[in-house]
Structure 1
Amino acid sequence: MATPILQFGTSRFLQAHVDLFIHEALARDQALGRVTVVQTTGSAASARRLEAFNLPGGYPVRIRGLANGAVVDQEHRVTAIDAGLHADRNWTAVCELGATSAQVIVSNTGDRGYELSDRDGPALLHATAAPRSFPAKLLVLLFHRYRRGAAPITLYPCELVANNGTVLREVVLQLARAWGLDDGFKQYLSRSCLWVNSLVDRIVSEAIAPAGAVAEPYAIWVIEAQKNMVLPCTHPQIVVTSELEPFERRKLFLLNLGHTVLAEHWQLHQLPKDMTVLQAMSDARMRAGLEAAWEEEVLPVFDALGEAGIARDYLAQVRDRFSNPFLAHRLADIAQNHEEKKQRRLRPVVALANSLQLPLAQPRLRAALGLAAARAAHAA
């Protein structure tokens, strides 16, 4: 087991996005190599996925939806994963891989993945037990790599956090300072390790047990260019750009915000627990509320930024994606960590409208955030 790509997280999203991309690139000889996946939680479902990753034959990813007006219904057998390791049971092997053959680290550790744990401390640098938090896991792994004199490494966080690479780097550096680690190591973290901001966009609506997923045809992985970074693969749906922010803004303010607006209505009105996005888009009241939020409270922000055309083109794609007749994208899944998602997805739109001094009342977004209504004088 000497794979060049180390992945933290077993989620159905990673299976149907990053791992599928690498699988397709391997077939064209355009990938670094295969992936070792690390389970970081105690989830029983994750453990079953991990067992499946270690079986021959790969796992299924079914792509269903519409692309350019044509029906897409394909199944891929993804064989990009070489092995699955559990952080708590195989931490020594994870650190060995991170210190030797790994050239790239990919992660998607959930909405609270960057939170630290009081249970972690510097003694873990020399222990066989894994730290609790993901940032501490990275710190220990990179410390082993540093002590072994290994080459630089490129990290691609895929968590839905603005400037995720920069944020994760600062969290890990903060932890290195708190643990009193030497300046040479801190320079290694900040200069030799490349923490790349990236954005992933694909709706992955269902898991296939024990491993696999159902996803839409639309997919993109937008990566902010950095000098000397190592890509895990090249792929038609990977975009390397010097300007990540416009891509992030469109996804967060239109797609992610749209999901959260629907989830807010679903929660407030105690609608059926198995309701899907497709059903919500077919409900006249829910659809009207969402369209009003987009048209009256979000798109004027894009207009003010000079991004009117590209934002509306993206929104047209979002409407089609939300109305995909083949995906059972449950609002109950979207509503997980709902309060935190509202702060991340809705508040920045309100804040940006304020900073641009736009005459927007934004009543729906403000109500969801528990904010007072905008003053009439400002909205006039």
Structure 2
Amino acid sequence: MIADWIATHPTMAKLTRSTYPAPVFPEKILQFGTGVLLRGLPDFLVQKANAEGRFEGSIVVVKSTDSQTDEFSTQDNLYTVAVRGVQQGREVSENTVVSAISRVLAAQTQWGEVLKLARNPKLQIIISNTTEIGLNYVEESIFQHPPQSFPAKLTAFLYERFRSVGGSKAKGLIVIPTELVTDNGLKLREAVEKLAQFNELGKLFTKWLKFHVRFCNSLVDRIVTRPTDEARQTLQKETGYEDDLLTFTEPYYLWAIEGDDRVRQTLSFAGPSTPQIIIDEDINFYKERKLRVLNGTHTLTMPLGYLLGLETVADEMRHPTMSKFVESLMLNEIVPTVPDYDTPGMDKAAVAQFAHDVLDRFRNPHLDHLLLNISLQQTAKMQARNVATLQRYYEQVNAVPKLMALGFAAYLLFMKVVREETGQFFGEIALASGGKLNYPIRDDKAGYFYGDWKTVKDRVPVTVQAFVKSVLSDVTLWQADLTALPGFTDAVAQNLNSLLTAGVAKTLEKAVA
């Protein structure tokens, strides 16, 4: 038993450069974000390239959420990526110690050190991963210490870079946002340009920004999670060291980056040994395929699965009724709407194959992909991932997508705020044991729904109908009037009323029968 082994091994060495000596490389990448996705994909790929002698560069990470960086510093910025799963019928089990991160700086307390890095002549690349709303333009001074928004922080950094290199063409940078936002590079560029204008940074800076800083649209695709306590203990027994930054991920990965020859030359961590890193002048096919099939399915199924009492994506796929819902929704209502290029590798067959690969990835028993983590900024995700899919379905079929309607109704129920505490909003689900569980609603629109849900009366269908119509007609939420889709409002309202009266399990069973 693991517990018995731990009891007989009370002390264990921490993963550090003393226990795991690693080379030190020049700092070539600045990364905004410390999340598991960045650790399990870009940072992991840089580590692989360093090991093969193809990049020989390290990453400086900026943490904006708080000033605590001890989890990194106590391990000398080392961590383990544990890859587990099945790929092409082969069981994959691989541990990689990532030593590519040189430093982690807290923006709140070390902003001067961040700006100092702008003067580093070896710096080539900036990577980011904030939330979907993290790329939004906020009108503010970039001369705060630090600026509040990510685009303002980036603008301040680029301006310091410009001043230090005298507008040199050779010292321009490649900026690659990895947020799951359509045209993320273009959106970030637009925000930076607006901030440059608002802060009156001058024509020379604007010119340098335009011609020598390349903002690349990009797409990342890899399921990366934090391990459970049991999985952590198992791996620590396997490796012989403690690792508080242990990161679990699947074998599959894709990083598609929109770029030209300059981008290919700079991103030398991409090469023949990593065909999953795609650098092309048009990556729209890969973006649409992933956004609609994988992310869209997550967003439409997460609320239903969580309200059903499930905790992870793998739990959904083990549940006989929920798994049918996930598969039918993806294959029958989402996949047919994904645009294709009618060329090998970018056609309908490629979309269908990707969907089946995604279902296999969802079933991966080694990953504990928490449904509650998927719920972050659920409203923004629903708009970005599923509104276009819904509209395309109507264009093709001219009928209500029944499973999408149920998924949307479950989303509305998930957004039912039952209480607020110091600006934090909470929903509630009934447990099989008879108790109740409160869960956080981490969504910028939680307050909006807190007010609207007060208009709904228990077991009064007309109030449910009015609530659904109000939400679906809100163009500020969806960038479209969803009540214009024939029958969709009625279908969502009927499903929501059933969820409220008959319960989640019975409503789901009826939908997939």
Q: Which has the larger radius of gyration?
A: 2
Q: Quick one: which of 308, 328, 344 aligns to 1:271?
A: 308
- By how many angstroms is 1:74 displaced? 1.4
Q: Hey, what does 1:310 align to over in structure 2?
A: 350
Distance in 2 between residues matched to 1:332 and 1:357, nearest whole Å: 33
Q: Quick one: which of 186, 205, 212 aligns to 2:225?
A: 205
Structure 2: segments with no counterpart, 5+ residues: 1-24, 233-242, 410-471, 473-481, 488-513
Deviations 1:42-76 (A, max 9, x none): 175xx3434246x16x2111101111112112111
Distance in 1 between residues matched to 2:302 and 2:349, nearest whole Å: 27
Matches within 5 A, 1:146-157: 146-148=162-164, 149=166, 150=168, 151-157=171-177
Once superposed, what is the RMSD of the aligned Cα atoms?
Answer: 2.4
Q: Which runs of 4+ in 1 moved over 4 A?
A: 303-306
In the alignment, is the contact (CA less than 8 A) between 1:363 and 1:374 conserved in 2? Answer: no
SS of equivalent residue, structure 2 residue 302? helix
Residue 350 of structure 1 pairs with residue 390 of structure 2: yes
Q: Hey, what does 2:159 align to over in structure 1?
A: 143
Distance in 2 between residues matched to 1:291 and 1:327, nearest whole Å: 19
Distance in 2 between residues matched to 1:197 and 1:34, nearest whole Å: 22
Distance in 1 between residues matched to 2:215 and 2:38, nearest whole Å: 19
SS of equivalent residue, structure 1 residue 31? coil
Matches within 5 A, 1:164-203: 164-203=184-223
Q: Quick one: which of 200, 221, 245 aligns to 2:284?
A: 245
Distance in 2 between residues matched to 1:116 and 1:97, nearest whole Å: 24
In the alignment, is the contact (CA less than 8 A) between 1:5 and 1:232 conserved in 2? Answer: no
- By how many angstroms is 1:352 displaced? 3.8
Distance in 1 between residues matched to 2:320 and 2:104, nearest whole Å: 45
- By how many angstroms is 1:304 displaced? 7.5
Q: Quick one: which of 95, 98, 101 aligns to 1:78?
A: 98
Matches within 5 A, 1:28-39: 28-39=52-63
SS of equivalent residue, structure 1 residue 112? helix
| Larger relative contact order, structure 1 or 2 (CA cutoff 8 Å, min sep 6) | 1
Deviations 1:168-214 (A, max 9, x none): 00111111122222122112222210001111100002257632310
Q: Hey, what does 1:19 align to over in structure 2?
A: 43
Residue type of the alignment partner of 1:309 = A
- By how many angstroms is 1:227 displaced? 4.2
Matches within 5 A, 1:1-380: 3-42=27-66, 47-52=69-74, 55=76, 58-100=78-120, 101-117=122-138, 120-122=140-142, 124=143, 129-148=145-164, 149=166, 150=168, 151-206=171-226, 210-229=244-263, 230-231=266-267, 233-235=269-271, 236=274, 237-267=276-306, 270-272=307-309, 275-302=311-338, 306=342, 307-353=347-393, 358-366=397-405, 368=408, 370=472, 371-372=482-483, 374-375=485-486
Deviations 1:138-193 (A, max 9, x none): 10111111112251111111111111111100111111122222122112222210
Q: Percent identity?
A: 30
- By how many angstroms is 1:264 displaced? 2.4
TM-score by length of 2: 0.66
TM-score by length of 1: 0.88
- By how many angstroms is 1:266 displaced? 2.6
- By how many angstroms is 1:2 displaced? 5.0
Q: How many positions carry a matched residue from both structures? A: 364
Distance in 2 between residues matched to 1:50 and 1:137, nearest whole Å: 22
Residue type of the alignment partner of 1:333 = N
Residue type of the alignment partner of 2:34 = T
Structure 1: segments with no counterpart, 5+ residues: none
Instruction: Identify if the C-alpha distance between structure 1 residues 65 and 275 changes in structure 2 by more than 3 Å, giving closer, same or farther.
Output: same
Instruction: Identify if the C-alpha distance between structure 1 residues 232 and 172 changes in structure 2 by more than 3 Å, giving closer, same or farther.
Output: farther
Moved more, 74-83 or 208-217: 208-217
In the alignment, is the contact (CA less than 8 A) between 2:132 and 2:180 conserved in 1? Answer: yes
In the alignment, is the contact (CA less than 8 A) between 2:118 and 2:161 conserved in 1? Answer: yes
Distance in 1 between residues matched to 2:192 and 2:35, nearest whole Å: 23
